[in-house]
Amino acid sequence: MHWMSSRGSKRITEQESGQDLFESKREKSLLKGIPRFKECKHTLLDLRKFSEWGQDLYVRVPVSELDHAAGHGNIKKKTVEITLGVITFGLVTCACIFIKKYPGTARKLCCQHCKIKQKKGDADLPTFDLSILANATQNFSTKNKLGEGGFGQVYKGTLIDGQELAVKRLSKKSGQGVEEFKNEVALIAKLQHRNLVKLLGCCIEGEEKMLIYEYMPNQSLDYFMKPKRKMLDWHKRFNIISGIARGLLYLHQDSRLRIIHRDLKPSNILLDANLDPKISDFGLARLFLGDQVEANTNRVAGTYGYIPPEYAARGHFSVKSDVYSYGVIILEIVSGKKNREFSDPEHYNNLLGHAWRLWSEERALELLDEVLGEQCEPAEVIRCIQVGLLCVQQRPEDRPDMSSVVLLLNGDKLLSKPKVPGFYTERDVSSEASSSSANHKLCSVNELSITVLNAR
C-alpha cells in the first residue's frame, strides 16, 4: 500500500498484508502534526475522506482481488437473469397452450375479471365486518328491530363512536333476496338526493348479506298513518307530499340513471328528524337505459293497493307505474286512511273510488282527515286531492309525469278534470235494491219463484 502526501512528492511504501493496515515509519518531516496509523485488526470495510487535514489517501489493492470480486458479482447477476428468463418463458408457454386449447374458457375468465373490476369501481361502497354489525345491533336483538319486509328484517345499530345505523339483514330463506340485494347495492350506490335514503355500505360474509343505511329516527310514513297521524299537521303532510315528488322526479329524470321504483308505499318512505321524507327500499327497482320508457315482466311484484291496473293484469310497468303509487300515497296522507283497509259500505269503493266520488260531487274536503280540523288551507287541500286523482287514473297515458306533478303541486296552474281511477268498482246499493224489487214483481207476474242460496 502506498500513501502519498499532497504536500510533497516523496513516496512512503508499506508492506502489503491483505486488507490490514500497519503503522508506517515515522517521518517527522512529512507526518508532523498528523496522527499515526495504528494497526487494524479487522477487515477494512470502508474508507472515508477527512478533508480538514488537507491530505489525500490513495489505496491500491491487487488487480487479482478486483477481478475476483467483479467476477463473483457478474456470476450472481447472470444466474438471476437466466432464472427469470426461464420462468417467464415457462409462464408464457403455458398461457399460449391454455389459450390455444381452451379459447372459450380463457375468453370467459378474462371477461369475468373485467366485469368484477368494473363492478368494484362502480359500487365504491365501504364494507362492514359482520362482527361489527352484530355488536352494533346487540347480536340482532328483537329490541333493535325496526321492521320486517319480504326480503328480511331491519335493525337499529349503534357503532362504538355513537353513529346510528339502519341494518337491513337479508333473509336466508328468501329465494329472490340475493338478486334484490345486488340490485339495491348497484342502484343506490349511484344515487344522491336529499329525498332518497343514503346507503352507507354493505356486508357480505358467507350466507349473510346486509345493507347499511343512515338511521331515520322517525321510522316510516306508515308508522304515522296509524294513531300517530295526530303528530302530522297539514304543513308537515304537504311537505312530505312535495318531498316524495322531488325524490321521484330525480329517479325518473334528473339522475344519471332512469329508475322505476315499483314498490312505492308508506312503509318505504322514511322520515328523518325533521320529518323530511326519504324514499327507500330499491329491491324491486328497475333500470331503464337510453330512451326506454316501459317494460314487461312475467313476475309481478309489489304491494296490493299501490300497484297500477296495467301492472297487475299484464306485468306492464313504466314511470307511470310509480306515478300511480304516488297518487295513492297522496290520498292516504290527506285522508289519514289506508287504501287497503278502507271500505265504503254504501258504494263498495276503495279509497280511490271514494275520493273520486266526493270530488265529482264537489265534496272533496270531506276526504280530509278529521284530526286536522280547520288548520289547513282548503284550496291547497283540494289541489292535492285533484293531483292525487290525476295520478291514479285508469289509463297510464292519462297520468301526468313527475315533472308536471311538481309544478302542479306548487303552482297556480289550472288542473284538468281527473277521469275514473284504477280498480274503480262503483255500486249503488239503493239502485240494486230497487232493481231487485222490480225483478221480484216481474217474476211474480210471471208466476215464477226465485231461490237464493246462501253459503254457511
Q: Specify whether the CB–CB gap between 213 and 199 falls below 8 A.
A: yes
**Percent of residues, the chain, with pLDDT higher than 70:** 68
How far is Cα 331 from Cα 368, in angstroms, rounded to an integer?
Answer: 9
Which residues of the chain are in CATH 3.30.200.20 domains? Answer: 102-215
Which residues of the chain are in CATH 1.10.510.10 domains? Answer: 219-456
pLDDT at res. 438:
42
Q: What is the DSSP letter of 411?
A: S
Residue 435 identity (one-letter amino acid):
S
Q: What is the mean pLDDT of the chain?
A: 77
Residues 6+ apart with CB under 8 A from 257: 187, 190, 191, 287, 288
Task: Please state the φ and ψ torsions of residue 2, each to the nearest 5 degrees.
Answer: -120, 135
Mean pLDDT of the 306-329 span: 95
Q: Lowest mean pLDDT of 311-315, 373-377, 385-389, name the range.
A: 373-377
pLDDT at res. 333:
97
Indicate if the pLDDT at residue 77 is higher than 70. Answer: no
How far is Cα 174 from Cα 168, in angstroms, rounded to an integer?
Answer: 14
316-318 vs 294-296, strand pairing mode: antiparallel
Is 168 known to sit in a ligand binding site?
yes
Q: Is the dihedral of CA 348, 352, 355, 357 positive or negative?
A: negative
Per annotation, catalytic residue among 56, 124, 263, 322: 263
263 is catalytic: yes
How far is Cα 198 from Cα 216, in angstroms, rounded to an integer?
Answer: 10
Please give the CATH topology (third level) of the domain spanning 102-215.
Phosphorylase Kinase; domain 1 (3.30.200)
Of 185, 241, 240, 190, the residue nearest 213 (C-alpha): 185
The tens digit of pLDDT for each residue in 262-281 reads 999 999 999 999 999 999 98
User: Which is more confident, 365 or 439?
Assistant: 365
Indicate if the pLDDT at residue 362 is higher than 90. Answer: yes
Indicate if the pLDDT at residue 101 is higher than 90. Answer: no
Q: What is the DSSP letter of 253?
A: I
The tens digit of pLDDT for each residue in 123-166 reads 467 889 999 999 999 999 999 999 887 678 999 999 999 999 99
From residue 118, alpha-carbon distances to 141, 170, 389 in Å are: 37, 24, 44
The tens digit of pLDDT for each residue in 19-30 reads 444 444 444 444
pLDDT at res. 444:
37
Q: Specify whether the CB–CB gap between 195 and 277 falls below 8 A.
A: yes
How far is Cα 237 from Cα 231, in angstroms, rounded to an integer?
Answer: 10
The tens digit of pLDDT for each residue in 199-232 reads 999 998 888 889 999 999 998 999 888 778 889 9
CA 439 to chain centre: 62
Residue in the structure block whose three cell numbers are 297487475: 312
Residues 6+ apart with CB under 8 A from 446: none
pLDDT at res. 324:
98
Mean pLDDT of the 54-59 span: 56
**Percent of residues, the chain, with pLDDT higher than 90:** 42
How far is Cα 93 from Cα 115, in angstroms, rounded to an integer?
Answer: 26
Q: Specify whether the CB–CB gap between 405 and 323 falls below 8 A.
A: yes
Confidence of residue 326 (pLDDT cuts 50, 70, 90): very high
Indicate if the pLDDT at residue 56 is higher than 70. Answer: no
pLDDT at res. 84:
80
CATH 1.10.510.10 fits 219-456, yes or no: yes
Confidence of residue 298 (pLDDT cuts 50, 70, 90): confident
Indicate if the pLDDT at residue 453 is higher than 60. Answer: no
